[in-house]
Amino acid sequence: MRRATIIGWGAYTPPAVLSNADLETVIDTNDEWITTRSGIKERRISHVSNAEMATAASRRALAAAGVDASDIDLVVVATCTPDRALPSVAAYVQRQLGGLGATMDLNAACSGFVYALSVADGMIAAGTVNRALVIGAERLSSYLDLTDRTTAVLFGDGAGAVVVEATEGPEGLLASNLHSDGSLTEILTIRGGGTENVFDDAIPLTVAMEGREIFRHAVTRMGEGTTTAIETADLEIEDVDVLISHQANIRIIDATAKRLKVSPEKVYTNIHAYGNTSAASIPIALSEALDQGVIEPGNIVAMVAFGGGLTWGAAVLRWGERTTRLGDADHGLPDTDKTGLQLLRERAQGLGVQ
């Protein structure tokens, strides 16, 4: 059966770090609370656009795959923080990399990468696409309210990308499922910025969420989604070698793994370093797991995510023979001498948030 297999991977995590100690200087919070409640120690704040981060991650993914941008039939960027309403981030990625394949963005919030991977797989199975660049890229620092300690400590910026291509072999995406419960739209939202409130300055341009409600739904739904994907792939939970969950909160990840009875050593996490990077979190984690040798040839890898919508989705794949890069590429972006806190303040002020 024709399906998608990952042949290249890459990530871009901006250099400017925002630590818990930095946040202590601007909001009423502390390292102990953030660490025990979320697992986050620091996050990155971007000095470049979403599309530039997405392109940087893609350059590395293309080099790892040994594929030229002109051989890509589809660029899909999972994001809820596009640089502009129009055109898509994916179009800007193509502008920088070249090529004439289809470009589109997909917004399923933090579930976006699993959604995008599944969409690319479906198009590959249908025969309309042979190779796709699937990207998760987010600049959530643009939507943080430095006066709201319940959200400002959680999010960060970054991008991850994979190159997938058609295979008829045993490797590749074995199963995926995507869901959403539209009755829960209001528990995680950015109300401003869309056409609904375009002339209303009173509508905040910041993340608003009901943390405890999201937590509860996330653990249940991610457990269900993963179980279903594993069953659809005709596998048992014991067959999973590596579980890569959306990095939103270490307690959510631990609770999900416990519910699924996946042992902790099979769970890859990097939330301590990047916080919640929404749709970018799984491809960044996947890329790091591969570069650190965590994923071995033939491994069964499960990915699961949840996010605003409330969306959730899971994917199970069998890794192929190659777990090393064919090549690498410089990210091609300028450095910055600004701190994460400086950048965050500049963004917030520019948006009139604070």
Annotated catalytic residues are: 110, 246, 276
Q: Restricting to residues 176-215, which ones interact with ligand ACO according to CB under 6 A?
A: 188, 209, 211-212, 214-215
Count of residues interacting with ligand ACO (CB under 6 A): 22
Q: Closest separation between CB of residue 329 and ligand ACO, Å?
A: 29
**Beta bridge pairs of residue 131:** 165
281 touching ligand ACO, by CB under 6 A:
no
278 touching ligand ACO, by CB under 6 A:
yes
110 touching ligand ACO, by CB under 6 A:
yes
117 touching ligand ACO, by CB under 6 A:
no
38 touching ligand ACO, by CB under 6 A:
yes
x/- track of binding to ligand ACO for residues 294-333 (CB under 6 A): -------------xx-------------------------
Cis peptide before 87 (omega within 30 of 0): yes
- The secondary structure of 297-336 as a DSSP string is TT-EEEEEEEETTTEEEEEEEE--S--S-S----------
Identified binder of ligand ACO from the candidate list 19, 24, 149, 237, rule CB under 6 A: 149
Identified binder of ligand ACO from the candidate list 64, 89, 109, 173, rule CB under 6 A: 109
Nearer to ligand ACO by Cβ, of 53 and 74: the residue is 53
33 touching ligand ACO, by CB under 6 A:
yes
Q: Cβ distance 246 to 188 under 8 Å?
A: no
Q: Which helix (H) or strand (E) holds 59?
A: helix 50-65
- The beta strands (E) that lie in 73-228 are given as 74-78, 102-106, 131-139, 157-167, 172-180, 188-190, 207-209
Nearer to ligand ACO by Cβ, of 130 and 220: the residue is 220
342 touching ligand ACO, by CB under 6 A:
no
Nearer to ligand ACO by Cβ, of 130 and 189: the residue is 189
Q: Closest separation between CB of residue 35 and ligand ACO, Å?
A: 11
Residue in the structure block whose two tokens are 């590395």: 60
Q: Cβ distance 240 to 265 under 8 Å?
A: no
Identified binder of ligand ACO from the candidate list 35, 96, 150, 323, rule CB under 6 A: 150
Nearer to ligand ACO by Cβ, of 135 and 290: the residue is 135
Nearer to ligand ACO by Cβ, of 155 and 268: the residue is 155
Distance from C-alpha of 119 to C-alpha of 106, rounded to nearest angstrom: 10
SS (H, E, C) 178-200: EEECHHHHHHEEECCCCHHHCCC
From the list 146, 154, 165, the residue with the least C-alpha distance to 26 is 146
Distance from C-alpha of 247 to C-alpha of 276, rounded to nearest angstrom: 6
From the list 109, 89, 113, 250, the residue with the least C-alpha distance to 189 is 109
Cis peptide before 310 (omega within 30 of 0): yes
Residues that bind ligand ACO (CB under 6 A): 29, 33-34, 37-38, 109-110, 149-150, 153, 188, 209, 211-212, 214-215, 248-249, 276, 278, 307-308
